[in-house]
Structure 1
């Protein structure tokens, strides 16, 4: 069966809303792109892609506000290219103490989700007869069951690392506060990293704690 379920949880999470510029404000729930990032941290190969089918919210949605230190600038790409050509690192220093900015962030607290996804072969995988969906599913299940990953999965931003476990069987009942239907508004589905970095959005609706995730080509997806 082409199905993979992973439970993730953490003390804090930040799934940033793109319409908020300076201040960091989280969506109410995990986004599909963040869910895919968690799965790719555990298992990913160029021959396959993860397709998120649904996200199950398990805990009550709660927010908290904190202030975080961030660096206010970055080294320009042009300087990096020049340094590579000159084989010198002169001028590439970034002094954090001189460029630190404190910004308010609205985070989620004590979160838990079950990510339900499937594996599809990429163009590269379909061209290779040795590749199969089942092969990658079994590899992902073994790695998740053993707690293995390429880099530690996180919930939106790298400072909020998450715990994870392979989930088998029925999903647990969501918190009572999640019963019923809730319109979560427009949510980022994915980002096209071609020139322009165009984001795709969908109208997220949560029913009894479950958010169904459309495919990128489905009706109702907007850029």
Structure 2
């Protein structure tokens, strides 16, 4: 059971972005717009605790959708138990990438407070010292000051994102692009309910007058 959800709005932007399509394994090709999971990650980079979760509700596209193609060097190996050291010159691979450029979005998400009694692996309630207002205030203070625990990024870590907290009810907000488009099936998020069998979730993304309404996590619109 979840309580006292409050919606916030961030404006995020960057020079380049890559929201990788999972069905394309070799070459990196971005979705046309930011995915809900990437938008959620921006909010989590500013503030996250086990007492809350972020649920993205709407995405507004503020800049026209533009593309660019680049070739990047990647390392074709991962260090682990069987590979203790990697010689970059031997494992270097050149791959093409189709990226977005000059992106700017307004992303909306609810900060949903989860009481201790409803959190996993918690067997008792420590008292009455926790409340949703505390977490709302912590996020608002950090976002207003531009503070973050990790640098937010636009799909991949090399594409850093700038952000600012927005009053969603302000009358002078920059309008979204005047465009309607059906993006088809898009990655929604990952289902971590079974940590040994993490599964992707998808949804049908439709943009109307520059705005994409994102269904709730438990909505029937989510394809699992």
For structure 1, the residue ranges without an aligned partner over 5 or more in a row are: 80-90
C-alpha RMSD of the superposition: 1.7
Q: 1:125 to 1:143 in 2, by over 3 A?
A: farther
Matched residues in 2 for 1:114 and 1:100: separation? 37
Asked if residue 92 in structure 1 is aligned to residue 84 in structure 2, the reply is yes
Deviations 1:176-202, CA, capped at 9 Å, x for gaps = 4x2xx3111111111023222200000
TM-score, structure 1 as length reference: 0.87
Instruction: Name the residue aligned to 1:121.
Output: 113
Instruction: Name the residue aligned to 1:217.
Output: 218
Matched residues in 1 for 2:30 and 2:59: separation? 16
Matched residues in 2 for 1:75 and 1:123: separation? 39
For structure 2, the residue ranges without an aligned partner over 5 or more in a row are: 119-124
Matched residues in 1 for 2:134 and 2:204: separation? 33
Deviations 1:117-152, CA, capped at 9 Å, x for gaps = 111123647556333333222211111111111110
Matched residues in 2 for 1:132 and 1:113: separation? 30
Instruction: Name the residue aligned to 2:101.
Output: 109
Q: The residue matched to 1:45 in structure 2 has which SS?
A: coil
The answer to which of 122-131 and 67-76 deviates more is 122-131
Instruction: Name the residue aligned to 1:88.
Output: none
Instruction: Name the residue aligned to 1:85.
Output: none
TM-score, structure 2 as length reference: 0.87
CA drift of 1:217 comes to 1.4
Q: 1:96 to 1:214 in 2, by over 3 A?
A: same
Contact 1:2 1:133 in 2 (8 A): no
Contact 1:52 1:117 in 2 (8 A): yes
Q: The residue matched to 2:39 in structure 1 has which SS?
A: helix
Q: 1:213 to 1:158 in 2, by over 3 A?
A: same
Matched residues in 1 for 2:89 and 2:52: separation? 42
Instruction: Name the residue aligned to 1:132.
Output: 131
Matched residues in 2 for 1:136 and 1:33: separation? 21
Between Structure 1 and Structure 2, which shows a larger proportion of helix residues?
A: 1
Matched residues in 2 for 1:97 and 1:137: separation? 48
Instruction: Name the residue aligned to 1:45.
Output: 49
